[in-house]
């Protein structure tokens, strides 16, 4: 019998304020090889209070990938899930089993996952982390992802290649980040979907995906009551939600994200919707997903006016924060945090409506590149994106968001227990078709959530393509000891 599809929105109906940084209110990039100085967008926008003074930064680490990556040729090892991060939406999490039932175990065990990590940079301060799927469990990875040396635009780069959407490839810090920091890098090329020359069908690919075979979210669907499939975990692989077209057709890339635990590695996409603090990402929707709607909106920071996502090249930049989750998503739904998007068009006010802050121009790359940065200071996080954006031209967009505004927090913002008093603690509850569970103390007093950054393709059931980047830099406050 076909289920009645009810799309479960994991969202908190409230707002969150952000303060845009301007030349007069904060120091922007560091003066030791950092990004360009921030400029205020033109046009009338809502007034915002001055942002706090940002720290003066000093360079701690810098990596330009001139040295060989993975010189020892680290082997792939099979993931056993003996040490899962949590029991919720980790790859083998209870949430899926409680929703889909015993058939989900069969789907999950139909393939094997392999992982590979190697250190990069001075003292091994960076880690490259990859994940791949062995479809028939014969010990051979059919389409392994890779992170290798290369050149682009006259620069040495790291090349990230994910030839199948079930793979993942990221950079992360080897150790948790300090209390205050600035992370930045240069993106030289990007090919994870979006249009080229006005079409998503290019290079024998559709929205960045190869045209070979089926490509679905199996075995981590959007939830049994979400559209795009029948919600039956016993269905063949090709009958799960399609990532290449249809209601859940999209590609993407994490330009730079801050997550709430150490040693992140690629996992299923739903896991990450409960683990991120702040982020900048690409969300290249297929026209089927946009449908008759707008697909969201994009800010032209040159005029501070919005235009419809459907009128863009789909190569946009989302700059946003994660808020509190829906603590009881309901049957057939998923656990996930509320999402608040920041643009200069809103004067830096974070809004629940999907709103991109800018639109990239991949055709200009690698001769022109984009710089992405995130800072954490004593008061909050700053997100920054610089480059030659479509319609707006050369811009540096910076938005500072305090940890708590009007009793609305950035999820798991505290890297030390002393930064938080427990006021947002709650129990995550699941009452589903095939089981129930509760996970108490999701943010208790005395807890701490170390920051880690992630660059690349985090997801092991969606996203496919390639990118290259260079000059990953880490700064700390000038008074801090190296």
Both tokens assigned to 149: 């040396």
Average pLDDT over residues 81-106: 96
| Count of Cβ atoms closer than 10 Å to residue 300 Cβ | 21
Q: Is the pLDDT of residue 204 over 80?
A: yes
Average pLDDT over residues 97-112: 98
pTM: 0.91
pLDDT the model gives residue 482: 54
Alpha-carbon torsion (230, 236, 242, 248), positive or negative: positive
pLDDT the model gives residue 66: 97
What b/e readout covers 147-184, taking b as 16+ CB neighbours within 10 angstroms?
beebebeebbbbbbbbebbbbbbbbbbbeebbebbbbb
Rounded distance between C-alpha atoms, residue 277 and residue 207, angstroms: 28
Average pLDDT over residues 176-198: 97
Mean pLDDT is lowest, of 16-30, 161-175, 180-194, 361-375, for 16-30
**C-alpha 151 chain-centroid distance:** 25
pLDDT the model gives residue 50: 58
pLDDT the model gives residue 53: 75
Confidence band, pLDDT 50/70/90 cuts, at residue 55: confident
pLDDT the model gives residue 444: 98
pLDDT the model gives residue 12: 30
Both tokens assigned to 213: 């075979």
Average pLDDT over residues 116-131: 98
Q: Is the pLDDT of residue 264 over 90?
A: yes
pLDDT the model gives residue 481: 60
* 233 vs 481, more confident: 233
Alpha-carbon torsion (100, 101, 103, 109), positive or negative: positive
Q: Is the pLDDT of residue 141 over 60?
A: yes
pLDDT the model gives residue 349: 86
pLDDT the model gives residue 107: 98
Task: Decide if 461 contacts 166 (C-beta within 8 A).
Answer: yes
pLDDT the model gives residue 36: 35
Average pLDDT over residues 294-317: 98
CA nearest to 304, candidates 349, 258, 352: 349
CA nearest to 324, candidates 89, 99, 16: 16
Q: Is the pLDDT of residue 237 over 70?
A: yes
Average pLDDT over residues 52-62: 90
C-alpha pair distances (Å), 191 with each of 194, 279, 463: 8, 19, 10
Confidence band, pLDDT 50/70/90 cuts, at residue 406: confident
User: How, if at all, do strands 316-325 and 408-409 pair?
Assistant: unpaired
CA nearest to 358, candidates 54, 45, 48, 41: 41
* 387 vs 21, more confident: 387
Average pLDDT over residues 295-322: 98
Q: Is the pLDDT of residue 364 over 50?
A: yes
Average pLDDT over residues 14-19: 32
Each residue's pLDDT tens digit, 42-53: 344 444 455 667
Q: Is the pLDDT of residue 80 over 70?
A: yes
Indicate the average pLDDT of the chain: 90
pLDDT the model gives residue 51: 66
């Amino acid at each position: 019998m076909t289920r009645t599809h009810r799309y479960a929105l994991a969202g908190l109906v409230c707002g969150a304020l952000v303060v845009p940084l301007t030349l007069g209110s904060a120091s922007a990039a560091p003066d030791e090889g950092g990004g360009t100085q921030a400029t205020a967008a033109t046009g009338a926008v809502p007034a915002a209070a001055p942002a706090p003074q940002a720290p003066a930064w000093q360079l701690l680490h810098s990596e330009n990938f001139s040295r060989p990556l993975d010189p020892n040729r680290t082997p792939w090892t099979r993931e056993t899930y003996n040490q899962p991060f949590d029991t919720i939406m980790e790859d083998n999490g209870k949430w899926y089993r409680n929703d889909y039932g015993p058939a989900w175990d069969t789907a999950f065990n139909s393939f094997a996952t392999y992982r590979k990590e190697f250190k990069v940079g001075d003292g091994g301060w960076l880690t490259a982390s990859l994940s791949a799927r062995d479809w028939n469990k014969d010990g051979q990875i059919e389409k392994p992802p890779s992170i290798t040396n290369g050149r682009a635009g006259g620069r040495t780069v790291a090349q990230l290649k994910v030839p199948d959407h079930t793979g993942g490839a990221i950079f992360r810090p080897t150790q948790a980040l300090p209390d205050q920091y600035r992370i930045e890098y240069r993106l030289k090329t990007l090919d994870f979907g979006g249009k080229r020359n006005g079409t998503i069908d290019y290079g024998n690919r559709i929205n960045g995906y190869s045209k070979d075979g089926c490509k679905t979210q199996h075995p981590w669907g959007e939830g049994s009551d979400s559209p795009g499939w029948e919600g039956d975990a016993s269905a063949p692989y090709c009958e799960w939600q399609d990532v290449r077209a249809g209601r859940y057709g999209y590609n993407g890339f994490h330009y730079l994200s801050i997550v709430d635990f150490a040693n992140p590695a690629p996992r299923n996409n739903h896991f990450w919707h409960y683990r991120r603090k702040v982020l900048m990402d690409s969300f290249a929707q297929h026209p089927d997903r946009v449908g008759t709607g707008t697909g969201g909106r994009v800010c032209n920071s040159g005029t501070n006016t919005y235009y419809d996502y459907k009128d863009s090249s789909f190569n946009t930049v989302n700059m946003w924060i994660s808020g509190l989750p829906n603590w009881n998503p309901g049957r057939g739904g998923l656990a996930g945090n509320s999402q608040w998007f920041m643009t200069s068009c809103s004067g830096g006010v974070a809004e629940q409506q999907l709103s991109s802050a800018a639109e990239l121009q991949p055709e200009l790359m690698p001769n022109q590149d984009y710089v992405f940065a995130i800072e954490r200071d004593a008061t909050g996080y700053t997100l920054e994106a610089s480059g030659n954006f479509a319609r707006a031209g050369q811009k540096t967009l910076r938005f500072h968001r305090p940890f708590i505004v009007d009793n609305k927090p950035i999820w798991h913002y505290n890297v030390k227990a002393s930064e938080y008093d427990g006021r947002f603690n709650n129990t995550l509850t699941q009452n589903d078709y095939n089981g129930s569970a509760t996970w108490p103390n999701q943010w208790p007093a005395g807890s701490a959530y170390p920051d880690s950054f992630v660059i690349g393709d985090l997801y092991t059931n969606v996203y496919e393509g390639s990118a290259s980047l260079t000059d990953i830099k880490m700064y700390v406050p000038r008074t801090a000891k190296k």
